[in-house]
Amino acid sequence: MPDLVLGVSGSVACYRAADLARELMREGFSVRVCLTDSAARFVSPALFEALTGQPCLSDVFEEPERGRMAHIDWARSAAALVVAPATANTLSRLAHGLGDDMLTTIALAFEGPLVLAPAMNPAMYDHETTREALDRLTERGAWVVEPAEGEVACGEQGQGKLASIPEIVAAVLEATAHGSSLAGRHVLLTSGPTQEPIDDVRFLSNRSSGKMGAALARAALQMGARVTVVSGPVALGYPPQAEVVRVRTALEMLEAALSHVAQADLIVGVAAVADYRPAQRAPGKLRRQADTMALDLVANPDVIATLAGRAKPGALCVAFAAEPGEGLGPAYAKLKAKGVRAVAVNDVSQPGLGMEADENALTLVTESGEVASGRMSKSRLARWLLERLAGELG
């Protein structure tokens, strides 16, 4: 029976953690509960001990077995750490790596999936520091079960009510099932923009941030894959467990990706590769001269199409496409033109989605049809996409 640690922090909603513990047990998990000091003022450890048949801890020095360290034992054996309800204080402590109680020390020692179900006053949920903590935790791969809208315990209206128990259970099942669907696979990603030099100080480029590539790298690692990212210049960092090859131009991206393609099982072209580069790179700095100026451009190679032609038999090669809301015809055409088995289509006509944004929506187009994700964070979307691609890989 897989173990779970259920961390309960001090929101009025912590009475609902008892129901959550029972539902998780019904799904076949053995649940160990850990209370923060504030939660222990709302609910008694005895309640959870009676429900789960396991010791319930809150003090890091309180050892149920002499000579052992429960925070390490619990962290090593858990298939997931679920924090529900997660208060603003606990989210910030988790985001900043504090280890000042049992729950946060377990979290520091824990390497598996973290599921967070925030519950708090809507203003606290909207507070910049709470949003930053959640962004940071999401970036590190946490599953966040968003709180519901409605009237919260203090009587105010807004988003802050603990999500429903079935929603939290579904996230836990997803997080724990997800661990191994790419185990033993090598995932090769191209990511970010390319920069095509005009002279020594100027280049042609685009607004790609690399966020989707970073989210896919994180999700693939969580699913057990070995990950190589060939990335153009981006400000963000990729997960430290990924092998990252930094390049600038499309030609460099192609060369670097080609040196990894023979081992790759799944190849995803997330990069926004410049289709053209200046025919000549001017030495030094071009000076202003006439009122108009023409720049000669030549076509870059198509990186993902070249990789698709060199991939090993059985490998799955996937392109991304930015389509301005004109239907999926061009995406089906790209399947053939690029020789890829799937195209993940971004509708760039919708405000707040796609390049630079934190949210996105994709339609995955394959020979056998299309499936749409709906709008979600890039982290969730990365998992959504990789689950489907892992299914295609077989």
Backbone angles phi, psi at 194, to 5 degrees: -110, 160
Q: Kindly tell me which residue out of 13, 81, 86, 304 binds ligand CTP, with binding defined by CB under 6 A.
A: 304
Alpha carbon distance 35, 42 (integer Å):
10
Cβ closest to ligand CTP, residue 152 vs residue 250: 250
Judged on CB neighbours under 10 Å (0-12, 13-18, 19+), 336 is exposed
**Residue placing its CB nearer to ligand CTP in the complex, 14 or 189:** 189
In this chain, which stretch among 240-248, 267-275, 350-358, 365-373 interacts with ligand CTP, using CB under 6 A? 267-275
Q: Give the range of 6-14, 145-153, 277-285, 296-304 binding ligand CTP by CB under 6 A.
A: 296-304
**Contact of 200 with 179, CB cutoff 8 Å:** no
Specify the residue, 199 or 275, whose C-beta has the smaller distance to ligand CTP: 275
CA distance 382 to 384: 5
321 binds ligand CTP (CB under 6 A): yes
Distance in Å, CB of 300 to ligand CTP, minimum: 5
Nearest approach, Cβ of residue 271 and ligand CTP (Å): 4
Whether 93 and 130 have beta carbons less than 8 Å apart is answered as no
Residues 274-293 contacting ligand CTP, CB under 6 A: 275
- Within 223-252, which residues bind ligand CTP (CB under 6 A)? 250
Which one among 269, 311, 316, 317 touches ligand CTP, defined by CB under 6 A?
269
Handedness of CA 17, 20, 22, 24 (dihedral sign): negative
Cis peptide before 324 (omega within 30 of 0): no
CB of 182 to ligand CTP, least distance (A): 19
Nearest approach in angstroms of CB 337 to ligand CTP is 8
Q: Please report, in angstroms and rounded to a whole number, the separation of the first and last CA atoms in the chain.
A: 26
| CA distance linking residue 94 with residue 113, whole number of Å | 13
Query: Which residue numbers are catalytic?
Result: 154
What binding mask, one character per residue, do residues 165-194 give for ligand CTP by CB under 6 A, x or -? Answer: -------------------------x----
For residue 144, the SS3 value is: strand
Within 10 angstroms of residue 320's Cβ, the number of other Cβ atoms is: 24
Identify the DSSP state of 272: B
Residue 125 binds ligand CTP (CB under 6 A): no
For residue 382, the minimal CB distance to ligand CTP (Å) is: 15
What gap in Å lies between CA 356 and CA 298, rounded to an integer? Answer: 27
CB of 346 to ligand CTP, least distance (A): 8
> How many residues interact with ligand CTP (rule CB under 6 A)?
15
Contact footprint for ligand CTP (CB under 6 A): 190, 250, 269, 271, 273, 275, 300, 302-304, 319-322, 334
